[in-house]
Amino acid sequence: LKITPTHLLQLGGKGLGLVELTQLSQSGLFKVPKGFILPAQRGRLKPHQGQSVRQALLQLEQQTNRSFDRHTLKVAVRSGAAISMQGLMDTYLNVANADAVISASNRVYKSWSGKQAREYQQRTGIPARWGSAVSVIEMIDPTLDANSGSGIAKSTKTGFKNIFALQKWGSVLVNGSDQESDALPHQVDKQLEQTLHFLESVYRQPVEIEYAVQRGELYLLQIRKAPLTPAAELDWAISRMQSLDMTQTELAARVNHLISIQKINKYRVDTEGLKPLAQGTFGEGNPFVGPVTTNPSQYPVGQSIFVSPSADAKEVTAQAMHAGALFFPGGNPLAHLAGIATTLGLSFLGGIDIKVFNNQIIMGDTIIPEGTLLTLDPASNALYDHELAITEIENVAELIVEPDDVQDNLAPELFSFTSLSPVSLHVGLSFVH
């Protein structure tokens, strides 16, 4: 299968990623669940499509040697748009019969037009006509034993960030419920690192994966380009230049591309020895000064700091999109809300000890009045109750020497995340049309 933009639109990023991972699993480093993909559309399944789903499920029973009737087969029904909309559409797990699969698929299609999803589409320019594909894959159970669990891992400028939940479903990670990582089963730890290096070498991009471990076996459930700021992606490229055998020309082309997206500057907050109002555990973006609020819509777009009551992207994305920065209690660096903020270019802090009750912002024993000017500093994961000065520092892109033979037309090819050339892909999933 030669990957084209049409495949991405029809199969969605999640579905196309499963196709690619199925072929790449021939490396022996990991497994991929079996399943099939319903092409992107906006409405309900038509009767003949429902019949095709039933036929595909019969084929899946044969492929897995399990069945709905014997209660040995369950599937996940997952959304997947061409452009990632982390946590904003529906997913259904442990679906146990054909009627339920069809019903869940229709609800996934409907979630494309949900309030949070529509607002995100409008903000990011995703055409409403695209719709979402639906992936139907066999369930991998991460709760079976002490060698099972769910995880998320992504590329960082210095290596990889991983968070793993022992004997739990992945939802506790993506919605920010779990804040700390459990230890990976020993035999999987090195295997996961090898897998991430392998995927970076194939995609030549920073990657983010969702995975499950079932009885000590590693299954990849999803892959996408890691949501990094342009500055962080530049740091990643510099750090991987040697391990990926990246030429100076390729590195320079990446720099050109990143600069075209956003001027890569770094900033420093002049704290003057002040004690922070609150200390978070992770954050990203540039410093930001603005009035704190539980309702960003009462301020001009991009000028307020939104205090979110949770780290669940599906609950708060519409409000976050109206703000210029945000902070939230709990969560983890790989939760969907952190990815949404990075994609939207919003500075954020997570892990802040804060409560929101009746629209009151409470830190410890202190109530923070609505509209108080705060300074959010992701570099130190700190929040200050003062309007602090912010100083621009050196543009890191200027440290790169650009060779004379760089051509601008290199950039689109280098940054096509679905391009796996020269890898020849064979479709390992069943497709329902």
Q: Which distant-in-sequence residues (6+ apart) come within 8 Å of 224 by Cβ?
A: 13, 14, 17, 84, 207, 208, 417
CA distance 293 to 307: 6
For residue 80, pLDDT over 70 is answered with yes
CA distance 254 to 320: 29
- Residue of higher predicted confidence among 417 and 366: 366
pLDDT per residue as tens digits for the range 314-330: 888 889 999 999 999 98
- Which of helix, strand or coil describes residue 189? helix
For residue 404, pLDDT over 70 is answered with no
CA distance 133 to 291: 39
Q: What is the pTM of this model?
A: 0.76
Mean per-residue pLDDT for 128-134? 90
Angle (CA) 414 419 422, round 5° = 100
Partners of residue 342 on adjacent β-strands: none
H helices of 220-356, in order, are 230-240, 248-261, 313-320, 336-344
CA distance 51 to 57: 10
CA distances from 269 to 6, 52, 225, 266, 280 (A): 45, 58, 30, 10, 16
pLDDT at 252: 75
What count of Cα atoms within 13 Å lies in the side-chain half-sphere of residue 106? 11
pLDDT at 188: 94
pLDDT at 391: 83
CA distances from 55 to 28, 36, 101, 138, 433 (A): 30, 11, 12, 15, 12
pLDDT at 57: 95
Handedness of CA 301, 302, 303, 305 (dihedral sign): positive
For residue 416, pLDDT over 50 is answered with no
What proportion of the chain, given as a percentage, has pLDDT over 70? 86
pLDDT per residue as tens digits for the range 329-377: 988 888 888 888 988 889 999 999 888 887 789 888 889 999 999 999 9
With bands split at pLDDT 50, 70 and 90, how would you rate the model's confidence at 393? low
With bands split at pLDDT 50, 70 and 90, how would you rate the model's confidence at 8? confident
Q: Average pLDDT of the chain?
A: 83
- Which of helix, strand or coil describes residue 250? helix
For residue 2, which phi and psi values (nearest 5 degrees)? -85, 115
CA distance 389 to 272: 10
Q: Which structural domains are found in the chain, ordered by start?
A: 1-139 (3.30.1490.20), 146-227 (3.30.470.20), 230-264+395-414 (no CATH), 266-393 (3.50.30.10)
With bands split at pLDDT 50, 70 and 90, how would you rate the model's confidence at 153? very high
With bands split at pLDDT 50, 70 and 90, how would you rate the model's confidence at 109? very high
E strand or H helix at 213: strand 207-214
For residue 143, pLDDT over 90 is answered with yes
For residue 414, pLDDT over 50 is answered with no
Mean per-residue pLDDT for 1-8? 70
CA distance 126 to 84: 10
CA distances from 11 to 14, 136, 214 (A): 8, 12, 26
pLDDT at 254: 73
For residue 237, pLDDT over 80 is answered with yes
What proportion of the chain, given as a percentage, has pLDDT over 90? 47
Handedness of CA 52, 126, 335, 223 (dihedral sign): positive
CB atoms within 10 A of CB 342: 20
Mean per-residue pLDDT for 186-199? 93
pLDDT at 401: 34
- Residue of higher predicted confidence among 292 and 263: 292
- Token pair in block for residue 426: 């064979």
Out of 61-70, 180-189, 301-310, 410-419, least confident range = 410-419
For residue 428, pLDDT over 70 is answered with no
Contact 40, 133 (CB under 8 A): yes
- Residue of higher predicted confidence among 302 and 332: 302
CA distance 266 to 425: 40
Q: Which distant-in-sequence residues (6+ apart) come within 8 Å of 410 by Cβ?
A: 249, 250, 253
Out of 154-163, 233-242, 293-302, least confident range = 233-242
Mean per-residue pLDDT for 239-257? 78
Contact 207, 155 (CB under 8 A): yes
Contacts of the segment 227-230: beta carbons below 8 A, 24+ positions apart: 227/84, 227/86, 227/338, 227/339, 227/342, 227/343, 228/155, 228/342, 229/262, 229/284, 229/285, 229/342, 229/345, 230/258, 230/259, 230/261, 230/262, 230/264
For residue 426, pLDDT over 60 is answered with no
pLDDT per residue as tens digits for the range 12-67: 889 999 999 999 999 999 999 999 999 888 888 988 889 999 999 999 999 999 99
- Residue of higher predicted confidence among 135 and 247: 135
Q: What is the DSSP letter of 31?
A: B
